[in-house]
Amino acid sequence: MAEKEQLIIESGDAAQPFKYAVGMHGSKFFTETRDNMRLMGLKCPKCGKVYVPPRGVCGKCFVEMDDWVEVGPKGVIGTFTILRFAFIDPETGQQKPVPYGYGFIKLDGADTLLQHYIDIKDESKVKIGARVEPVYAQERKGITRNIEYFRIID
Amino acid sequence: MAKRVAIVGTGQTFHKSHRPDVNGQELINEAVQRALADADLTMKDIDAILIGNMDHFEGINYVDCWSVDGCGGVMKPVIKITTGGTTGASLAIGGYHMVGSGMFEKVLIIGWEKNSESDTTGAITTAFDPIWDRQVFAGAISGLAAEAQAYMARFGASDRDGARVSVRDRKHAMNNPHAQLRKEVSLEDVLASPMLADPIHLLDVCPRSDGACAVIMASEDSAEKICPVPDWIWGTSAHNTYSYLGDGDWGRLTSMEQCAKEVFKKAGIKEPRKELDVIEMYQPYSFAGLIWIEDMGIVGHGEAPQFVWDGNTDMGGELPVNPSGGVIACNPIGATGLIRCAEAAMQVMGKAEGRQVPDVKFAVSTGFGGCMWTNMLLHGKRKPN
């Protein structure tokens, strides 16, 4: 053995699966997109801010929210980037296909931004403020991919 | 019972992309030995240890357990703090609270990371919500790119403005033997480097590093006996802003604004641009060197590009930023925020050698991470009132 040999031990293919609860508010959001192709947000009874993704508490007012409002389906790009570098997607363990459009979508009637894929077929149209609409998957399983991506409509 | 608190010693490894010659515990020990030597103390003098790194990067989470021999924690209180990118700055603030409480006289604070031991983007993604954040997320770069896009759209800044910040920090790193990347880059180099996520090029962002940093804090009862010119902590602040990435006010760092207001008020600083002498900012990519000095209140919104182009933040300028070369030149993530704190302390103590800014009276160090949160420390040469 060489005097300065520095060994590395690899973990190999070890995998540890997780099971994440979406919660009652997230579950309603996903069942609505799956069954009715509707996007829903939760409105704070105190400040009136509409949250998408929905969550049980308005952090600022620290009050419980249960006032569901329909938002979208159209919206604008709040901000975005186009991912061009390849990386391992920890969700799949595989290399994520690039390039792809990463949008922060401000749905009409919502005050926060929903992260989703945006269509980048024509990159010159991908701009902050561009109008977008969701493109729904044919087969919807009750996950974020009920919507495949958002497409630019102007 | 509350005590004034000062930094009396710092130590760092020579950070590199890969340190296969040491395991985590041995890496940590290098920084600890240097900090003890700097303060001329031994482990017997230390009352408690705060240690942290970013969970999941090495896939071995209990550093407070497995590092005990190397960190000096045998039969001492060892507490772990881990807050993502801000870990190092949170550790420093935690140390300030422990010593300031009067319950611990001398505390050893350690931040470390071996980024080489896993896939950094994969590890960072696990810090975010599995349902709402991870689908499109692509590690730190995707969120930062979205911030830069929003800033450019709001204020008309360009990718050349961002590149100017990279050129500055990489030039500054030439003066810092601890920095990982010690090779100057030109504007053209930055703009011609591969586009990772629009508008961020490879040379706009930090590398991934292996490294550790240790800082020793002491109360006013012993600080001046240990160290002729201690670095007094004048104030600290920490703010987190949202649950999900889409909740942010993109193009602004509101947590930075709030932290700056709080710590400057504590010290009576009204014109930070004139009253501060140096900033060590946790600036993981170039555009943050524009956006965040605006939110810190150094210049008005939209004014940072011109301020930076005019050389004000260069060494020798009105308010040098990142004399160490900053995060763009070196980023062992769990140590990074503490390195900013140590570098600011070295500036106040007059120990920054080739990267020393003359006559530093006030310095600011920051941490940044996760949900666009900011941690901030104000360091000063004079003992606080």
ipTM, two decimals: 0.91
Q: What pLDDT score does A88 carry?
A: 81
CA distance B248 to A78: 10
| CA B372 vs CA A39, B140, B202, B253, B297: distances in Å | 26, 11, 21, 7, 17
Using only C-alpha atoms, chain B has a radius of gyration, in whole angstroms, of: 19
Q: What pLDDT score does A69 carry?
A: 98
Contact yes or no for B109/B91 (Cβ under 8 A): yes
- Name the 3-class secondary structure at B102: coil
- A77 closest CA partner among B134, B254, B138, B149: B149
CA distance B153 to B215: 40
- Residue B203 contacts A where some CB pair is shorter than 8 Å: no
- Which tens digits make up the pLDDT trace of B67-101? 999 999 999 999 999 999 999 999 999 999 999 99
- Name the 3-class secondary structure at B11: strand
Q: Do B245 and A90 touch (CB under 8 A)?
A: no
CA distance B313 to A131: 39
CA distance B250 to A87: 24
- Name the 3-class secondary structure at B268: coil
> What value does the mean pLDDT of chain B take?
96
Dihedral Cα B307, B308, B311, B312, nearest 10 deg: 60
Q: What pLDDT score does B208 carry?
A: 93
Sort B193 into a burial class: Cβ within 10 Å, 0-12 / 13-18 / 19+. middle
Q: Which amino acid is at A22?
A: V
CA distance A42 to A54: 5
Q: What pLDDT score does A22 carry?
A: 92
A1 pLDDT higher than 60: no
Q: Do B131 and A84 touch (CB under 8 A)?
A: no
Peptide bond into B77 cis (omega under 30): no
Percent of chain A with pLDDT over 90: 73
Q: What pLDDT score does B136 carry?
A: 87
Q: Which residues in A lie closer than 8 A to residue B242 (C-beta atoms)?
A: 59
Q: What pLDDT score does A91 carry?
A: 73
Domain locations in chain B as residue ranges: 5-119+209-226, 129-206+231-380
For tokens 């901000």, the residue is A79
- Residue A76 contacts B where some CB pair is shorter than 8 Å: no
- Nearest residue of chain A to residue B247 (CA atoms): A112
A15 pLDDT higher than 90: no
Q: What pLDDT score does B39 carry?
A: 98
Q: Do B146 and A81 touch (CB under 8 A)?
A: yes
Q: Do A78 and B134 touch (CB under 8 A)?
A: no
Q: Which residues in B lie closer than 8 A to residue A59 (C-beta atoms)?
A: 242-243
pLDDT band at residue B125 using 50, 70 and 90 as cut-offs: confident
Q: Which residues in A lie closer than 8 A to residue B131 (C-beta atoms)?
A: 20, 22, 26, 53, 144
* Average of per-residue pLDDT across B176-195: 98
Q: Do B251 and A87 touch (CB under 8 A)?
A: no
Q: What pLDDT score does A42 carry?
A: 98
Q: Do B122 and A88 touch (CB under 8 A)?
A: yes
- B289 closest CA partner among B92, B147, B89: B147
- B286 closest CA partner among B200, B347, B223: B200
* Average of per-residue pLDDT across B320-348: 98
- Residue B79 contacts A where some CB pair is shorter than 8 Å: no
For tokens 């990435």, the residue is B245
Chain pair A-B, CB pairs under 8 angstroms: 121
Residue B99 DSSP class = H
Nearest to A87 among B121, B132, B150 (CB): B121
Q: What pLDDT score does B92 carry?
A: 98
Q: Where would I find the H helices in B269-369?
A: 272-275, 288-295, 304-309, 333-349
* Average of per-residue pLDDT across B209-214: 98
pLDDT band at residue A44 using 50, 70 and 90 as cut-offs: very high
Mutation target among A79, A114, A147 for the B interface, most CBs of B within 10 A = A79
Q: Which residues in A lie closer than 8 A to residue B198 (C-beta atoms)?
A: 81-82, 84
Q: What pLDDT score does B104 carry?
A: 98
Burial per residue of B362-372, b for 16 or more beta-carbon CB atoms within 10 angstroms, e otherwise: bbbbbbbbbbb
Give the residue, A88 or B85, on which the prediction is more confident.
B85
**At B100, which helix (H) or strand (E)?**
helix B87-100
- Which tens digits make up the pLDDT trace of B46-61? 999 999 999 888 888 8
- B48 closest CA partner among B99, B112, B111, B113: B99
Contact yes or no for A115/B137 (Cβ under 8 A): yes
pTM for this model (two decimals): 0.96
Class of domain B5-119+209-226: alpha beta
* Average of per-residue pLDDT across B117-137: 86
A2 pLDDT higher than 70: no
* Average of per-residue pLDDT across A98-114: 96
Q: Please give, rounded to a whole number of angstroms, the shortest distance from the CA of B354 to a CA of chain A.
A: 33
Percent of chain B with pLDDT over 70: 100
- A104 closest CA partner among A125, A86, A127, A123: A127
- Which tens digits make up the pLDDT trace of B248-265? 888 889 999 999 999 999
Q: What pLDDT score does A32 carry?
A: 95
Q: Let me know if domain B129-206+231-380 sits in CATH 3.40.47.10.
A: yes
CA distance B61 to B52: 10
Nearest to A128 among B137, B141, B153 (CB): B153
- Residue A115 contacts B where some CB pair is shorter than 8 Å: yes
Q: What pLDDT score does A60 carry?
A: 92
